Amino acid sequence: RATALRLAEDGYDVALFARSEDLLHGLADDVRKLNRYAQSFVVDVSDAGAFEGALLAAVDTFGAPSVLVNNAGVYYTNPIDGHSVSLWNEVMETNLTSALNACRVLVSHMKTAGWGRIVNISSISGKTAEAYGAAYSASKFGLIGLTQALALELADFGITANAVCPGWVATDMARAQLNDEKWCALNELEVSQSEEIARLSVPQKRLIQPEEVAHLVSFLCSEGARGITGQSINVCGGLSLH
C-alpha cells in the first residue's frame, strides 16, 4: 500500500495485484485521489498461468511498464524436520517464482523502451537466515540472486534491478509472525512480549514504517538512481549491517 501510494505521488499510474479483493480494498481509490490511474487485478501470483494473464491484461490497459515492484510474500514457521514439500513450494512460488514470472513477461517491454526499473522486496532474512523459517529465508536469498542476475543481464538496456531488504516492519504480516504462538514457542518468547523484544533488538529501538521502505523504492525507481543496480539495500534500523 505505502509503495503504491508513493509511486502514485511520483507520477506513476499503478497496476495492483493481490490474491484477494480485501488486500486491495480502497487502494485503487486512494491512488486515484492522487490524480493517477489505478486498476486492481485479483490473482494468486503463485499460479503462473493466471498471473501471466493478469500481467498481460495490465499491459493492455496501461501500456508498456517502466517500473516493476515485486512485493509478494508469505511466511510460515516450521522446524526443518516438520517442513512439508508442499509448503516449501508454496513459499517459493509466491515469494520467488512470481518475481521471475513478472520479469519474464514484462522485461521485453522495458528493453524496447530502453529504460526500466525493477525493485524486488527481499528481506534481511535473505542475507542472514533465520531458524524455523527455512523456506522464507531461502526464497529471499533467491530473490537477491535473481536481482543480481537481472542487473547484469539488463544493464545494456537502461534497466536497473535492485533489492530492498527490510527488517522488522510495522505490517500485518510481521505482527502475525510476532503473535504466532508456534513461532514464539520455538524462539522461547512469550507472545505478549514478542513485539517489544523485536523492537528492542533493533539498534534504533523501533519497527520500520512501511513508508520508509516505500521511500527507498521511490528513489530506486528514479532517474537519479540510474547508477545503482544489482544492489541489496537494507531498511532495518541497523538490525543487519551487511
Looking at this protein, which amino acid is placed at residue 128? T
Q: Answer for the pair 8, 31: CB distance below 8 angstroms, yes or no.
A: yes
* Residue carrying the nine cell digits 547508477: 227
164 within 8 A of 120, measured Cβ to Cβ:
yes
Rounded CA separation 186/87 (Å): 18
Secondary structure of 88-131 in the HEC alphabet? HHHHHHHHHHHHHHHHHHHHHHHHHHCCEEEEEECCHHHCCCCC
Consecutive H or E run containing 200:
helix 191-201
Catalytic residue among 12, 76, 132, 136: 136
Phi and psi torsions of 231, nearest 5°:
-100, 155
CB 62 within 8 A of CB 11: no
**How distant is the alpha carbon of residue 138 from its chain centre?**
14
Residue type, 135: A
- Name the 3-class secondary structure at 48: helix
| 76 in active site | no
Distance CA 131, CA 82 (A): 13
Active site residues: 136
